[in-house]
């Protein structure tokens, strides 16, 4: 039984305060506890109680606050309960007191997160540290600032706050809420089949105002006249539907026909107009022209009446113009090809002329060369200065100019010359 001074107690308090995670004073007690187990300062069951010389017990923290408030002089401190001057504090209190305080049933501090555990107060710390699945932990993903319940922490250390698509519906929910989300889905499904749910009569679409629980629906349906009429109504509905369908078809066909008629009318207008033009050119007024004029007026009235017809006629006239243009183009085409043909013929004739001229020139050249050749054969080894006297330099230059006058006697030995002479002759 050793006591410590008040200053030592104060120093201890700050050391011990750090490892306390669960605030035992804020726990919600379930069982009622004796007032004698209550610290007179904080009115909670003792938390780490200490005892004064006068045997009055307080929580260490509460006594600490009381001492600090008496900051004037530690020596004057008196027991808050009995005002006995106190200098020492005993840390050991009866084991009985500690056990009774630790045995008080409290709710888990994570109750707001969903933990329903009721545990002795002495086990709260270990429950919170080790077993409570609802304790809020930091998300293992350091980039995520949200907190997650301990039981939802995945072993792989993934972040469970990313939205995932639910398998049953198209909603996006966070992975950690998946369980509750699925439960809600199950509830919705149950509501669809629950016999207690108030459900309208199946004939409500035919006007039955009755709404009863699903269990009583069968009995109602036996007496409901609208249900008895149900098949008849449905047959009528089906008939109406099919009739509507055929009406729609007929409308479509009608539209097609109307279009066709409009086309025919516009072509009639065109033809009657051309007819009228043709007949007005001879300038004789016979009844046929009048009737044509009449029909033209009638039809023109008709087609100006509707814009569609006007547009159609516009289209027709444009088509006519295009036809005319294509005609003109083919005309031009034919004309151009004719011109080409003419040019070609003229050129061919010219070529024939030049060919003939070339032929006659060749004839003349041969005729001019012949006497010279004959002369050369007859001359033999005679000095060939006659070469210089040749009147045609163009024909003489080829074989003779290369040899020159001094080598004229060698000429018969040249193979090329003899060959050429052979061909020319």
Partner 1 sequence: MFASKRLSKELLKMQDHLPPGITIVKSDNLEEWQMDIKVLDSNPLYQNQTYRLKFTFSNKYPIEPPEVQFIECPSTSEHPRPIPIHPHIYSNGIICLDLLSSAGWSPVQTVESVCMSIQSMLTANSRDERPPGDSDFVSYNRRRPRDIDFFYDDDNV
Binding positions for partner 1, rule: CB under 8 A: 25-26, 40-44, 62, 65-66, 68-69, 80-81, 83
Helix (H, G, I), strand (E, B) or coil at 89: strand
User: Quick one: which of 110, 176, 182, 109 has its CA closest to 146?
Assistant: 176
Q: Smallest gap, in angstroms, from Cβ of residue 29 to partner 1?
A: 10
Task: Give 87 or 362: the residue with its C-beta nearer to partner 1.
Answer: 87
Q: Smallest gap, in angstroms, from Cβ of residue 123 to partner 1?
A: 22
Half-sphere exposure for 70 (CA within 13 Å, toward CB): 20
Q: Smallest gap, in angstroms, from Cβ of residue 188 to partner 1?
A: 40
Q: Smallest gap, in angstroms, from Cβ of residue 54 to partner 1?
A: 12
Beta bridge partners of 58: 50
Task: Give 69 or 187: the residue with its C-beta nearer to partner 1.
Answer: 69
Q: Smallest gap, in angstroms, from Cβ of residue 65 to partner 1?
A: 5
Q: Smallest gap, in angstroms, from Cβ of residue 58 to partner 1?
A: 9
Task: Give 82 or 328: the residue with its C-beta nearer to partner 1.
Answer: 82
Rounded-to-integer distance, Cα 205 and Cα 209, Å: 9
Task: Give 78 or 289: the residue with its C-beta nearer to partner 1.
Answer: 78
Long-range contact set of residues 72-77: C-beta below 8 Å, sequence gap at least 24: 74/5, 74/6, 74/7, 77/6
Rounded-to-integer distance, Cα 239 and Cα 232, Å: 11
Q: Which residues make Cβ contacts (< 8 Å) with residue 373, sequence separation at least 6? A: 421, 424, 425
Rounded-to-integer distance, Cα 258 and Cα 308, Å: 11
Task: Give 37 or 144: the residue with its C-beta nearer to partner 1.
Answer: 37
Rounded-to-integer distance, Cα 420 and Cα 425, Å: 8
CA 206 remoteness from chain centre: 44
Task: Give 69 or 183: the residue with its C-beta nearer to partner 1.
Answer: 69
């Amino acid at each position: 039984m050793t006591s410590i001074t008040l200053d030592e107690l104060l120093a201890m308090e700050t050391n011990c305060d750090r490892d306390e995670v669960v605030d035992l004073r804020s726990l919600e007690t379930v069982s009622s506890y004796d007032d004698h187990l209550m610290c007179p300062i904080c009115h909670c069951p003792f938390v780490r109680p200490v005892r004064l010389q006068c045997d009055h017990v307080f929580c260490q923290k509460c006594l600490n606050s009381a001492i600090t408030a008496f900051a004037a002089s530690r020596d004057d401190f008196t027991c808050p309960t009995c005002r006995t001057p106190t200098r020492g504090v005993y840390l050991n209190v009866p084991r009985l007191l500690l056990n009774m305080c630790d045995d008080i049933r409290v709710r888990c501090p994570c109750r707001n997160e969903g933990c329903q555990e009721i545990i002795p107060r002495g086990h709260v710390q270990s429950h919170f540290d080790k077993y409570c699945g609802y304790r809020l932990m930091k998300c293992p993903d350091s980039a995520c600032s949200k907190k997650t319940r301990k039981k939802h922490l995945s072993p792989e250390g993934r972040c469970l706050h990313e939205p995932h698509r639910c398998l049953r519906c198209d909603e996006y929910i966070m992975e950690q809420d998946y369980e509750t989300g699925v439960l809600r889905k199950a509830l919705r499904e149950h509501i669809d089949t629950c016999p207690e749910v108030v459900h309208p009569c199946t004939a409500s679409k035919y006007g039955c105002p009755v709404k009863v629980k699903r269990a009583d629906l069968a009995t109602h349906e036996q007496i409901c006249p609208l249900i008895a009429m149900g098949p008849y109504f449905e047959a009528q509905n089906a008939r109406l539907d099919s009739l509507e369908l055929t009406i729609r078809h007929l409308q479509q066909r009608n539209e097609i026909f109307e279009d066709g008629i409009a086309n025919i009318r516009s072509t009639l207008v065109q033809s009657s107009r051309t007819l009228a033009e043709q007949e007005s050119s001879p300038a004789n007024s016979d009844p046929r022209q009048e009737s044509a004029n009449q029909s033209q007026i009638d039809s023109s009235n008709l087609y100006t009446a509707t814009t569609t017809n006007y547009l159609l006629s516009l289209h027709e006239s444009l088509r006519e113009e295009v036809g005319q243009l294509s005609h003109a183009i083919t005309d031009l085409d034919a004309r151009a090809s004719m011109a080409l043909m003419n040019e070609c013929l003229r050129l061919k004739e010219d070529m024939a002329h030049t060919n003939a001229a070339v032929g006659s020139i060749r004839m003349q050249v041969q005729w001019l060369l012949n006497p010279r050749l004959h002369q050369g054969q007859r001359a033999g080894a005679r000095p060939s200065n006659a070469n210089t006297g040749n009147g045609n330099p163009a024909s003489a230059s080829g074989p003779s100019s290369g040899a020159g006058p001094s080598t004229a006697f060698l000429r018969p030995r040249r193979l090329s010359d003899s060959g050429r002479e052979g061909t020319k002759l």
